[in-house]
Amino acid sequence: SQTIHQWPATLVQPVGSPLSLECTVEGTSNPNLYWYRQAAGRGLQLLFYSVGIGQISSEVPQNLSASRPQDRQFILSSKKLLLSDSGFYLCAWSRANAGYTFGSGTRLTVV
Amino acid sequence: GNSVTQMEGPVTLSEEAFLTINCTYTATGYPSLFWYVQYPGEGLQLLLKATKADDKGSNKGFEATYRKETTSFHLEKGSVQVSDSAVYFCALTNTGFQKLVFGTGTRLLVSP
């Protein structure tokens, strides 16, 4: 069966520090991968998506970047976190006719 | 572009009350429509979906009908429970890449 792993579950980081959030998918190949962010009191915003290894599309210009070094691995990064980067980050995957599956999320607090 | 509009919350109900959460959409072509639920501290789970006009999605007592004429996909449940307290997101995907576009979410609070 297909599963998606996302870690860590919670993270508290100081302003200006780097960030690396990892997401891996099991049980499928060549999925579309996504990073969403849910800021406090707001809806879900698509940050990045990827249709294949090394292929990243950014939806919103910001302080974050994404990479896909392997078919089932998707990484969200920042060189220097801002307070406004705080939020709940969700990784997801999809394939044609298979719908979306979300990870359990990472709550990031930048202090 | 594609967008989803949901009623603002929170929606506060007593147990066994009837629930409606409104959702309307704007999209080109023929989108698929979804309701996702987020329980406290958790990620998103698919609640139900409909892929064409007049389809009715249903799950766990929740229902929503894809109404193309009114571009709506309202979520309903006849009798809510305390355990239904969560944030509900309406969403759509269009043909092609399948990017999922979400509404802002509606928080439901059910009291005993």
Would you say residue A62 has pLDDT above 90?
no
Query: Which of A4, A89, A100 to mutate to test binding with chain B, by most B CBs within 10 Å of its CB?
Result: A100
Residues of B with Cβ-Cβ distance to A46 under 8 angstroms = 99-101
Q: What is the mean pLDDT of each run of 10 residues along chain B (112 residues)?
A: 88 97 92 92 89 94 96 98 96 77 93 96
What does the pLDDT average to over A68-89? 95
Angstrom distance (rounded) from CA B60 to CA B33:
17
Long-range contacts of A83-88 (CB under 8 A, 24+ apart): A83/A15, A83/A110, A84/A110, A85/A19, A85/A110, A86/A39, A86/A40, A86/A110, A87/A37, A87/A38, A87/A39, A87/A40, A88/A37, A88/A38, A88/A39
How distant is the Cα of A22 from the closest Cα of chain B, in angstroms?
15
C-alpha distances (whole Å) from B8 to each of A38, B5, B22, B53, B72 are: 16, 9, 9, 25, 15
Q: What pLDDT was estimated at residue B96?
A: 59
Query: Looking at the complex, does the CB of residue B48 fall below 8 Å from at least one CB of chain A?
Result: no
Q: How many CB atoms lie within 10 A of CB B39?
A: 13
pLDDT band at A41 (very low <50, low <70, confident <90, very high): low
B44 contacts A90? CB cut-off 8 A: yes
Max avg pLDDT among A40-44, A85-89, B76-80: B76-80
The residue of chain B nearest to residue A107, with distances taken between CA atoms, is: B41
Range in A23-27, A63-67, B85-89, B99-103 the model is least confident about? B99-103
Q: What pLDDT was estimated at residue A48?
A: 94
pLDDT band at A98 (very low <50, low <70, confident <90, very high): low
Q: How many CB atoms lie within 10 A of CB A97?
A: 8
The residue of chain B nearest to residue A94, with distances taken between CA atoms, is: B98
B102 contacts A34? CB cut-off 8 A: no
Range in A2-11, A35-44, A99-108 the model is least confident about? A35-44
